[in-house]
Structure 1
């Protein structure tokens, strides 16, 4: 552009026939053109500066985006690791819960088998004893344990610990069932009322209740050949009454002998262990 303007000026100088008016017009055009060029140059410089600034800004943004992208990739990797660990932990938890469920089922099955055996034992005892007066003999289950409660009047005379013949007959029927259940042990408990014993051969009701329990155990061993290692004789005295001792009827009910049939704990644990081995 400047070369063009110079040529114009040169033409004006070389051509003498050009009028001053024409020269002035050309000069004004030159000034206008120069001003326009200066303005354009200034705008160009501004644009170049803006370009540099924008380029620097874009480079910073690109750098930031790259860093953000790298961080996201790392975070994704961490999340993937955490997700894998979470899945593994969840799987372990589910396996543990499954194992616990199997253990609970095994123990429940063992308890059910024990309860079935207990029920069968009750049925056998009731069938063996037959139709006896409920006040004289009771066969029940308490907390998973079978017991036979026999009244004092059926077993012993007043203040005595020697068994009656009727008592021996009943014990023979009980012994038959017990001998057929080798997985059970049993304890014979003697109970009295709270009236102090006045006979010289007894020190107190403790002594009376213990001697009565021992008499039952001896008959079961000596006359019915029950294994003595399966039996326990215990005297409870007057301290676990069924009813109040304030009246005659209550005292009569409190004078009793209980045969408590106990499942061998090792047999029960064996049932559980056998079930656990199948897991």
Structure 2
């Protein structure tokens, strides 16, 4: 690119050599010179910027080339390791085909377990929905139904279920127990644990030694009612008592103690079915 200042000097010389010029022409030439000088400065600035960008790009290109070379070296190392591994595998005792079969068998077993669990979860939800729909609004005030870790918990308050301070079932509890019994009868592949729970206030009955006795007697009362009055197979039933040692609320308040005084009907899939699944697990004992 030609230097605009040099051009202006030449132009001035020509004009001067031609004779005197008017002030108007001189001012125009001066303006043109200033414009050219400003453009020249801007072009120089842009040139410096381009040179700086070029330097940065060159450095980045160099860095990328170094990374590419490092990746190529790493790839070569991995390829060498793979070749060594394949050679070792061919010479070793590992039977790849057998390993693949064992992996496929394990995956099939896991898939079966997941399907079984999903089926159990679905049945638990159906059971819960059927029970809650069968209970009235008044009954639901004394009955709490939950599904926790694949197990259905039906919690019954003692004020609804028993006579005060006793393990004898009250007459008003019959309607509720009959609805629960029907659900239990509909799901014959489930085990049923009846578990009594108390607060921490000592019992003062001559024929009951402590809260352990009271909780166990209450669990047993419900079991016998389900068997004798509603026809539930006793082989599916288990009576238990946990006394005051399984609280779900603080015993420091009346409300907490009321919550802790409860009998839980715990409905679970039969354990022998799960043991059968476990026994069908792929045998990996002969793996090397």
TM-score by length of 1: 0.64
State the shift of 1:126 in Å: 1.5
State the shift of 1:248 in Å: 0.8
Matched residue count: 199
State the shift of 1:128 in Å: 2.3
Of 169-178 and 119-128, the range deviating more from structure 2:
119-128
1:211 aligns with 2:217: yes
User: CA separation in 2, counterparts of 1:159 and 1:247?
Assistant: 18
**Pair 88,187 (structure 1): closer, same or farther in 2 beyond 3 Å:** closer
User: CA separation in 1, counterparts of 2:115 and 2:247?
Assistant: 35
User: CA separation in 2, counterparts of 1:161 and 1:198?
Assistant: 13
State the shift of 1:93 in Å: 3.2
**Pair 272,235 (structure 1): closer, same or farther in 2 beyond 3 Å:** closer
State the shift of 1:200 in Å: 1.0
State the shift of 1:271 in Å: 6.3
User: CA separation in 2, counterparts of 1:120 and 1:79?
Assistant: 53
Report the equivalent of 1:20: none
Report the equivalent of 2:106: 100
Q: Secondary structure at the match of 1:98?
A: helix
Give the RMSD, CA atoms, in angstroms: 2.7
**Partners of 1:183 and 1:267 within 8 A in 2:** no
1:166 to 169, 172, 181: 172
Q: Secondary structure at the match of 2:184?
A: helix
1:227 aligns with 2:233: yes
Specify every segment of 5 or more residues in structure 2 that has no aligned partner in the other structure, as ranges: 1-83, 283-288
Q: How far does the alpha carbon of each residue in 1:1-35 deviate from its partner, in whole angstroms, 9 at most, with x for none? A: xxxxxxxxxxxxxxxxxxxxxxxxxxxxxxxxxxx
State the shift of 1:251 in Å: 0.6
**Partners of 1:168 and 1:219 within 8 A in 2:** no
Report the equivalent of 1:30: none
Report 1:187-202 matches (<5 A): 187-202=193-208
Q: How far does the alpha carbon of each residue in 1:26-68 deviate from its partner, in whole angstroms, 9 at most, with x for none? A: xxxxxxxxxxxxxxxxxxxxxxxxxxxxxxxxxxxxxxxxxxx
1:153 to 147, 151, 159: 159
Q: Secondary structure at the match of 2:146?
A: strand
User: CA separation in 2, counterparts of 1:141 and 1:213?
Assistant: 20
**Pair 237,81 (structure 1): closer, same or farther in 2 beyond 3 Å:** closer
User: CA separation in 1, counterparts of 2:191 and 2:107?
Assistant: 31
**Pair 238,124 (structure 1): closer, same or farther in 2 beyond 3 Å:** same
User: CA separation in 2, counterparts of 1:240 and 1:152?
Assistant: 15
Report 1:5-24 matches (<5 A): none
Report the equivalent of 2:149: 143
1:181 aligns with 2:187: yes
1:116 aligns with 2:122: yes
State the shift of 1:130 in Å: 3.7
User: CA separation in 1, counterparts of 2:88 and 2:241?
Assistant: 66
Report the equivalent of 1:254: 260
User: CA separation in 1, counterparts of 2:277 and 2:135?
Assistant: 30
**Partners of 2:150 and 2:268 within 8 A in 1:** no
User: CA separation in 1, counterparts of 2:256 and 2:142?
Assistant: 14
